[in-house]
Chain A
Amino acid sequence: MTDATVFAARGRTWRRLRRNPMMTLALGVLVLITLAAILAPALTPFDPYETNIRARLKPPGDGHILGTDSQGRDLLTRLLYGARTTLLIGLVGTGFGALLGGTIGLCAAFYRRLDSVLMRIIDVFLSFPSILFGLSLAAMLGPGLDSLIFAVGLSVMPGIARISRGAALSIMAQDYMDSGRAIGLPDRRLLSGYLLANAYPPILTYTTLAFGDAVLLAATLGFLGLGLQPPTAELGSIAAEGRSFLFLAPHVSTAASVMIFVIVLSFNLLGDALRDAGDRRSV
C-alpha cells in the first residue's frame, strides 16, 4: 500500500462520514452542548450557586426555562454547569485512560515478550464491573474531581488497551514494519511514527465510544452518591437529587437524565459512524 492509496482511502472515509446524517447531527449536538457548557457564564443570567429555597422546585416556565431545582436555583443554569463538570470528567478521564491503555496496547503488540504479562493485567482490570471499580476507587480516594477522573480513566483503560493491541498487531504484520526495523530505526520511531500512525483509526473510534461510557459512568457514580460535594453541579448528582422529588417535581431528575442521555447517545452515534466508515473502507 503506498502513501497515495492511504490518503485516498482516508479521503473516501471522510466523504462517507460527511454523508452520514446521523454523524452530522451527533457532532452538531455535541458541539452545541460543549459550547453551551463552556460559555455557560455568559449565556445565563443566573448564578449557579445562589440559593433561594422559598422558590424551589418551580415547574418550567415563569422566568426559568426549565424551572428551579431543590434549592431554588435555575435548573438550566445548573445543567449547563453540570455538563461542564461531567464533560470535563469524561474528557480528562478518557484522555488519561486512552493514553495509558493505548501505551499498554502498543507496547504489548510491539514487545512480544511483555504481551502475556500486560494482557493478564488488563484481564484483571476487565474483570471488575466498571461501576464497582469506579465506586471503590472513588470511595478510597475520597470525593473530589481528581479521584473521579482517575476512577473513570482506569475504568475505560482496559478496553482501549485491548483494542490498541489488536490494531497494533495487524500493523506489526505489515511489511513496512520490517523494513523500518531493517533500516535500523529506533523503537521510539517505530512505535510512534509507524505503529501509532497506522493503528490509530480503530483506537480513535473505540475511544469515542468509550467517552460515552465514561460520561455514563461519571453520572452513575454521582447518582450513587460518590460524586462531588455540594454545591458543585454535576449531571449525575442533579439526577440523584431530583430523585427525592420524583413525584413532586419530576422535571429535575428528568431534565438531568435527558441531558446525560443526549450526550452519551451523541458520542455513541459518532463512534458508530466512525466505525461504519472504517469497516467499509476495508471491504
Chain B
Amino acid sequence: MTDQRPFPGIAFRLAGFASAAAIACASAAAAQDAGTVTIGRTSDADRYDPQRSSALAAAEVLYMIGDTLVTLSSDLKTVEPALAESWDISEDGLTYTFHLKDGVTFCDGRAFTAQDVVGSMERWLTPDGPYVSTWKAGIVDSVTTPDDLTVVYKLKAPSSGLLYQMAQFNFIIIDPEQAESLGDDFGVTAFNGTGPFCFESWNPNDSVVLSAHEGYSWGSPALGNTGPAKVDKVVWKIVPEEATLAASLQAGEIDASYSLPAWSIAQFEADPSVTLLQPEAAFRTHYLGMKVTRDFMKDIRVREAVSHAIDQSAIADAIFFGTVEPTESYYAEEALDYDPSIDTTPFAYDPAKTETLLTEAGFTKGDDGFWQKDGTPLTLTYYGFNTSREQAETVQGDLRKAGINLNVELYDSTAIWAKLREQTYDLYQMDYPYLNAGDALNLYFASSSVPSPNRMMWEDEETDRLLEAGNSAVNADARAEAFMALGKHLHEAILWKPLLLEKPTVAIGPRLVPFEPAGISGAAFGTGLNLELQ
C-alpha cells in the first residue's frame, strides 16, 4: 500500500470536533440542598428492624427514627427518661412500672400508647422467632398495660442491667401493626417510628433518606435538644471506598462521618475546614478471640504465648495513626464494674515469654524457625473481616516473627458469620461496643452462648454462676462484686487477646455546627437532634 496522504484538512476538523465534545461541560462540584445533612459511611445494614438486626449500621439509623423507653446520660452511667417519663422498681427487682409521656405520636400521625410497647415486646420475644439479642430483655414474665400510659414489665428473675440495656437500639419501640402487616419487608420498605426523624426511603447499599418528624418534642433534656430536629433531612450515604469517603468529606459532598479511615483522621487534625468530635464516653474494644476447643489452643500456655507475641501498641500507633489506645483488658478500665486488680500482664507484648511458654508446653523450634510439637508445626487459622486486612497482616507478621505460622482468611462482614459457624478457626478478630462490664460479660462468655456469640467455645460453670449472681443482684454493690470477680476469672483464663480501645471520632465539615456525639451502642450521631447547619 502506498503512503498517500489525501485530505489533511478535513481530518483535523473531524478530530478536533470529537475531542472538543469530549472535554466539554466541566463543572464544579454541586452544592447540597439547604436543610439536608449527608452522613457518609462505608457499609449498609441488612434491614432496619431493631429486633432483627444486630448491626451498628442499623443502630445508627434506628436511633434517629425510633425512641427507646429510657436512655443514658453522656457518661453512660445514669439512666435518663425518654419515652418513659418516670419508672418505679419493686423491692425484689422483678417488677418495673414505666409511666409514659403523653402526646407522643408515630410518624404516620397515630398516637403512641402503652399498647405499642406491649406489641413491640411481644413480637421481639416470640419464641423461635427470627429475632436477635433477646437476652437483653432479661427473663420476661409478662409485659402488661393497666392503662394507655403505663407499662408493667415483670421479670422472672432480677436483671441488674435491664435499664441500661433498655437504652440500646433493640428496645426501640416499633409500630406492631405495621410489623405484622409488612412481615419480612418491615424495616426494608417502611418503618413507622416515634423518633425525631421519619423513614422516607431506603435504597440498599446506596442511601437511607430520613425527614424531620413534625411536632417532635419528647427528646431527652439530658442530651441537648428535645425537638423538633433542626435540619429537614438526613441522608445516610454509603461510600464503600474509605479513601473516597475521606475525599468526599473534604470536597463537601458529605457533611459528616465516623467510619473514616484512621490516616484521614490524622490528616484532618491539620485541616481547618474539618472538625473532629468525640463522645464523652463510648466503649469499643478490638480483640482476638481464641477458640479453646482447638488442638493447640486448648493449652492455656499456647494462648498466653500467642498473646505475648502480638504488639498492640504498634498496631495502635502505625495502623490507626494513634487515633486509638492499645489495651490489655477485655473492656475499658473506665467502664462501670471494672476491677482494677485484674492482672493484665498475660496480655502485654513480650515475645521473650512466648519462647519460654512454648518450650514449657513441649514445643521445639525447627530449622525453619517455626515451632512444632511431635512433628506438627504450630500453624493457626485466623478469621477476620476483609475491612481489617492490615490489622490481620500485622498480627500475621508478629506471629511469624515469633515462629508461629498463621493462615489468614478474610471475609466480608455479611459472610463472616456463616464462616464462623463452620468452626475451623483458632483465632478470630472482632470489635464490639458495650456500656459497662456487665454488658460486655453477658455478651460473650455464658455457656449458653456457645457456639455463637461465645465463639471461644468457653463452657465454664464458675462463669455461669458469677454471671447469674451479677444479673440477679438487686443492688449495685452485689452486682459490682459478682461482675468484678467474673472479670478477674475470665482474664485469668486468657480467652482473648485485647488489642485496642476505640472511641468513635466524628469528623464534620464546615456546614455543621459542632455537637457532642453520643456513646450508646457506638452510634455516634445518636438521635440526630443535635445536628444543626451553620
On whether the two chains bind one another, the answer is yes
- Residues of A participating in the B interface, judged by any CB pair closer than 8 Å: 49-54, 56, 70-72, 143, 225, 229-231, 241, 243-248
Chain B residues with Cβ below 8 Å from A230 are 389, 392-393, 396, 408, 410
Beyond the given A51-B398, A247-B246, could you list 4 further A-B residue pairs with CB under 8 A, ordered by the A residue number? A49-B397, A50-B400, A230-B392, A248-B263
State in angstroms the CA–CA spacing of A243 and B389 once bound together. 13
B397 with A231: CB separation less than 8 A? yes
- In the complex formed, the residue of A with least CB distance to B266 is A248
Task: Using CB atoms and an 8 Å cutoff, list the residues of chain B in contact with chain A.
Answer: 241-243, 246-247, 261, 263-264, 267, 314-315, 317-319, 386, 389-390, 392-394, 396-398, 400-401, 407-410
**Structural contact, B319 and A245, CB atoms closer than 8 A:** no
Taken together as a complex, chains A and B put the C-alpha atoms of A49 and B264 apart, in Å, by: 26
| A51-B397 in contact given A225-B386, A230-B410, A245-B263 (Cβ < 8 Å) | yes
Choose among A54, A231, A244 the residue that contacts B317 (Cβ–Cβ < 8 A).
Answer: A54
Contacts known (A49-B400, A53-B397); A231 close to B390, Cβ less than 8 A: no
Contact B315 A243 (CB under 8 A): no
Interface pair B409/A229, CB less than 8 Å apart: yes
Alpha-carbon distance between A152 and B314 when the two chains are bound, in angstroms: 38
Can you list 6 residue pairs at the A/B interface with Cβ under 8 Å? A49-B397, A51-B398, A52-B397, A53-B314, A230-B408, A241-B389
Q: Which residues of A contact B242 (CB under 8 A)?
A: 244
Contact B243 A229 (CB under 8 A): no
The CA-CA distance from A52 to B241 in the complex, in Å, is 26
Q: How far is it, in angstroms, between the C-alpha of A147 and the C-alpha of B390 when the chains are bound?
A: 24
B393 pairs with A51, CB closer than 8 A: yes
In the complex where A49-B400, A53-B318, A56-B318 touch, is A71 in contact with B409 (Cβ < 8 A)? no
Given A53-B315, A245-B263, verify A231-B246 contact (CB < 8 Å).
Answer: no
The CA-CA distance from A56 to B407 in the complex, in Å, is: 22
Please, which residues of chain B bring their CB within 8 A of the CB of A241? Answer: 389-390
Contact partners of A52 in chain B: CB under 8 A: 397
Q: Which A residues touch B386, using CB under 8 A?
A: 225
CA distance A225 to B315 in the complex (A): 22
Task: Tell me the nearest residue of chain A to B390, going by C-beta.
Answer: A70
Q: How far is the CA of A229 from the CA of B410 in the complex (A)?
A: 7
Q: B243, A247: Cβ atoms under 8 Å?
A: yes
Contacts of A71 in B (CB 8 A): 390, 393-394, 397
Q: Taking CB as reference atom, which chain A residue is nearest B411?
A: A143
Residues of A within 8 A of B407 (CB): 229
Q: How far is the CA of A56 from the CA of B400 in the complex (A)?
A: 17
**CA–CA, A224 to B407, complex, Å?**
21
Pairwise interchain contact B243-A246, C-beta atoms closer than 8 A: yes
Contact A231 B314 (CB under 8 A): no
CA A50 – CA B393 in complex, angstroms?
A: 10
Residues of A contacting B396 with CB < 8 Å?
A: 51, 230-231
Given contacts A231-B393, A243-B243, contact A53 B410 (CB under 8 A): no
Collect the chain B residues with CB atoms within 8 Å of residue A231's CB. 393, 396-397, 408
A244/B314 contact (C-beta < 8 A), A70-B390, A229-B410 known: no
Closest A residue to B394 by CB, please name it. A53
Contact with B397, one of A50, A225, A247 (Cβ below 8 angstroms): A50
- Whole-angstrom CA separation of A54 from B390 in the bound complex: 13
